């Protein structure tokens, strides 16, 4: 099982040239990319349509996600053990089309298992526990997702996603505490 997504992605880029499109196993593109119009002075990011509990999330934090996924090897590197991002010396342009379609085909139990696993990885990245962050981050995460980003307009899936992202934030901080006291 992968425990450092950035390191894994960086290994995948070794020896590659030209454009590389990076997608997760549960992602597809809404249409093909026209490579003839791409400018080599940039890497490219895409909007992602996120699906949860059988419904597209049009609001909330996930609706605003822009992911740098069309890259030129040698222009940067992936950083972060989980929720990795591509850091490059090139500027990033955002493409409105195509979109990345992220259609999770998993149960709520499977999603919670993933949150547990991802929170383990993220807690290992944190250098120290912060009681302040434990008190503030989970609640702020919920408020941001549900109210600020209008997640309530997505109905029950929006409420569930806001709570689950808040739970993830709480789990990360408690696991960081647990790591510190061992």
Query: Domain residues of the chain, as ranges?
Result: 5-103, 108-181
Give, in degrees to the nearest 5, the angle at Cα 180 between 176 and 182: 120
Tell me the whole-structure pTM to 2 decimals. Answer: 0.86
Residue-level pLDDT at 113 = 95
Q: Which pair of structure tokens corresponds to residue 177?
A: 């505490």
Average pLDDT over residues 129-156: 96
SS (H, E, C) 52-68: ECCEEECCHHHHCCEEE
CA dihedral 101, 122, 119, 117 (to 10 degrees): 70
pLDDT digits (tens, 9 = 90+) for 51-85: 999 999 999 998 888 999 999 999 999 998 888 99
Q: Between 106 and 113, whose confidence is greater?
A: 113
Q: Name the percent of the chain lying above pLDDT 90.
A: 76
Residue-level pLDDT at 106 = 87
Residue-level pLDDT at 125 = 86
The conformation of residue 151, written as its DSSP 8-state character, comes to G
pLDDT tier, 31 (very low <50, low <70, confident <90, very high otherwise): very high
Would you say residue 2 has pLDDT above 80?
Answer: yes
Q: How far apart are CA 138 and CA 64, in angstroms?
A: 19
Mean of per-residue pLDDT scores for the chain: 93
Residue-level pLDDT at 104 = 84
Instruction: Kindly write down the DSSP assignment for every residue of 10-76, as one continuous string.
Output: HHHHTT--S-EE---TTEEESS---GGG--TTEEEEEEEEEEETTEEE-SHHHHT-EEEEEE-TTSE
Q: How far apart are CA 93 and CA 98, in angstroms?
A: 13
CB 65 within 8 A of CB 48: yes
Would you say residue 182 has pLDDT above 90?
Answer: no
Q: How far apart are CA 120 and CA 37, in angstroms?
A: 41
Q: How far apart are CA 121 and CA 93, in angstroms?
A: 29
């Amino acid at each position: 099982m992968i425990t450092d997504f950035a390191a894994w992605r960086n290994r995948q880029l070794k020896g590659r040239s030209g454009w590389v499109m990076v997608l997760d196993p549960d992602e597809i593109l809404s249409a093909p990319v026209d490579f003839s119009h791409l400018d080599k002075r940039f890497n490219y990011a895409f909007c992602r349509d996120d699906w949860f509990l059988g419904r597209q999330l049009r609001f909330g934090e996930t609706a605003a996600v822009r992911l740098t996924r069309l890259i030129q090897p040698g222009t940067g590197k992936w950083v972060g053990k989980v929720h990795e991002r591509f850091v490059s010396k090139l500027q990033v342009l955002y493409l409105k089309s195509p979109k990345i379609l992220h259609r999770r085909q998993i149960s709520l139990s499977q999603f919670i298992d993933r949150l547990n696993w991802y929170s383990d990885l993220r807690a290992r990245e944190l250098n120290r526990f912060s009681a302040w962050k434990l008190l503030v981050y989970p609640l702020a995460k919920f408020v941001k997702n549900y109210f600020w980003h209008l997640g309530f307009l997505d109905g029950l899936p929006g409420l569930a996603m806001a709570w689950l992202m808040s739970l993830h934030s709480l789990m990360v901080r408690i696991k960081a505490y647990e790591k510190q006291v061992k």
